[in-house]
Amino acid sequence: NAGVTQTPKFQVLKTGQSMTLQCAQDMNHEYMSWYRQDPGMGLRLIHYSVGAGITDQGEVPNGYNVSRSTTEDFPLRLLSAAPSQTSVYFCASSPLGGEYIFSGELFFGEGSRLTVL
Amino acid sequence: AQTVTQSQPEMSVQEAETVTLSCTYDTSESDYYLFWYKQPPSRQMILVIRQEAYKQQNATENRFSVNFQKAAKSFSLKISDSQLGDAAMYFCAYRRRGGADGLTFGKGTHLIIQP
């Protein structure tokens, strides 16, 4: 009954450091995505994937890399963290194909708060 | 590109009263979904209600209901008998059917419940 699991929940980095936010889902969802949430801005899409080996950019992709080697995992990498990347990050997933299973709803992880000093 | 606008950054309502949160959106698509998500201080994103664009009937979930006006591209959320636990940020969101580009969110409305 885990759903979407994100780790870590909190992280503090120094400018220039690298890190990976992990995301795993156990619902066999084809679609996975990363959002960032900033005060007064709502949630904005960073990257998404429609299946293993397939990724694409969202609205705010600069400074972030992703890969999708398995259906379950979709890590988000910050190669050289900047203060502008201080945010709360959400991973979300959903099924994609078939009328009977596609409700449009995204299932969210609990979020990861990242601070870059 | 789709846009979602929530024009009320903050709303306040007395406990047990009714409140309506506004949302408008812009899209050239005809088949899509609309959602209201709730985000309490725990920051978990919780689905409150969803509406399929091809359905004319407004969705309801217990004390939560929507007023979906497709032609006007309006999707408001009504919360009846407000409870202290309803206090949260509320986000309106759009997703086109088969949308691999995920949800487009509004900037949110902070709902305060006055005891």
CB contact under 8 A, B107 and A40: yes
Q: Is residue A100 predicted with pLDDT exceeding 50?
A: no
Which of A31, A44, A105 is closest, CB to CB, to B50? A105
Interchain contact B43–A (C-beta under 8 A): yes
In whole angstroms, give the CA distance from residue B4 to residue B27: 9
**CA angle (A87 as vertex; A83, A91 as ends), nearest 5:** 135
DSSP code per residue over A75-112: -EEESS--GGG-EEEEEEEE--S-TTT-----EE---E
Distance from CA of A17 to the nearest CA of B (A): 26
* pLDDT tens per residue, range B53-105: 988 899 999 999 999 999 999 999 999 999 999 999 999 999 888 667 788 99
Interchain contact B53–A (C-beta under 8 A): no
Which of B44, B47, B98 is closest, CB to CB, to A105? B47
Residues 6+ apart with CB under 8 A from A90: A6, A34, A35, A36, A37, A43, A108, A109, A111, A112, B45
Q: How many CA atoms lie within 13 A of A102 on its CB side?
A: 16
Task: Please state which of the ranges A19-33, A63-77, A98-112, B3-17 shows the lowest mean pLDDT.
Answer: A98-112
Structure tokens at A64: 């972030």
Distance from CA of A99 to the nearest CA of B (A): 10
Band of the pLDDT at B107, cuts 50, 70, 90? very high
DSSP code per residue over chain B: --EEE---SEEEEETTS-EEE--EEE-S-SSEEEEEEEE-TT---EEEEEEETT--SPPEETTEEEEEETTTTEEEEEE-S--GGG-EEEEEEEEETT-TT--EE---EEEEEE-
* pLDDT tens per residue, range A42-99: 899 999 998 899 999 999 999 999 999 999 999 999 999 999 999 999 999 988 765 5
**B63 with B79: CB under 8 angstroms?**
yes
Q: Is residue A40 predicted with pLDDT exceeding 90?
A: no
pLDDT of residue A2: 75
